[in-house]
Amino acid sequence: MLEGLGVRVVEREIVSEQDAERAGFVGSPTLRVDGEDLFPTDEPPGLTCRIYRLADGRISPTPDPDALRTALAERRHGRA
């Protein structure tokens, strides 16, 4: 559980381009809630590193913390 919120964290290893295609995996890290990407992108599926933009415009290997909090709160309250 994630900090007592009733969240189950599932890690899935994608080891081939075929796995990526089947899973709609567009790079690591991909964060999903109920199977939906928290940060949808038009990038094609593949074994790659994912790039995110921080609020100040910098490139990051992880989502902006505030954007992640907002996306999770929206999912929690039924707004996707």
- Return the H-helix or E-strand segment holding 60: strand 59-60
In tens, the pLDDT along 6-47 reads 677 888 899 999 999 999 999 999 999 888 999 999 999 999
Best CA proximity match to 76, nearest among 4, 5, 20: 5
Tokens of 76: 């929690």
pLDDT of residue 2: 54
In tens, the pLDDT along 53-73 reads 999 999 999 999 999 999 999
- Separation CA 69–CA 74 (nearest Å): 9
More confident: 31 or 1: 31
pLDDT exceeds cutoff 50 at 1 = no
In this prediction, residue 80 has a pLDDT band, given cuts at 50, 70 and 90, of low
Tokens of 2: 């994630």
Residues 6+ apart with CB under 8 A from 71: 38, 39, 63
